[in-house]
């Protein structure tokens, strides 16, 4: 995410699904999914601004992703800290 704005535009444009939560225009959390929309769903990013952590935003965005791809059998989420 540190490669500049042009890099980010391409990252999000090539994603299958992106959902965000905002607070008065400020980005509070974001989830980004890659999928073939048939057999696999890969949650690439689930990010929550530290100022908004512990409020359930990550869970709500993950739920939105899983709802959107409920028909996809295999779901992958990898984590790093």
pLDDT tens, position by position, 38-79: 999 999 999 999 999 999 999 999 999 999 999 999 999 988
Give pTM, 2 decimals.
0.85
Q: What is the pLDDT of residues 23-36, one digit of tens each?
A: 999 999 999 999 99
CATH superfamily of the 5-77 domain: Gcn5-related N-acetyltransferase (GNAT) (3.40.630.30)
For residues 13 and 24, the answer to whether their CB atoms sit within 8 Å is no
Q: What share of the chain is helix, strand, coil (3-state, %, to 5)?
A: 30, 35, 35
Q: Is the pLDDT confidence value at 2 over 90?
A: no
How far is the C-alpha of 44 from the C-alpha of 31, rounded, in Å? 8
Q: Where do the domains of the chain lie?
A: 5-77
């Amino acid at each position: 995410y540190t490669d500049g704005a042009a890099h980010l535009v391409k990252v999000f444009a090539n994603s299958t699904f992106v959902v965000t939560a905002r607070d008065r225009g400020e980005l509070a959390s974001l989830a980004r999914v890659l999928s073939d929309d048939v057999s696999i769903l890969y949650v690439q990013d689930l990010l929550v601004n530290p100022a908004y952590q512990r409020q359930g935003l990550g869970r709500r965005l993950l739920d939105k992703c899983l709802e959107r791809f409920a028909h996809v059998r295999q779901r992958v989420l990898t984590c790093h800290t």
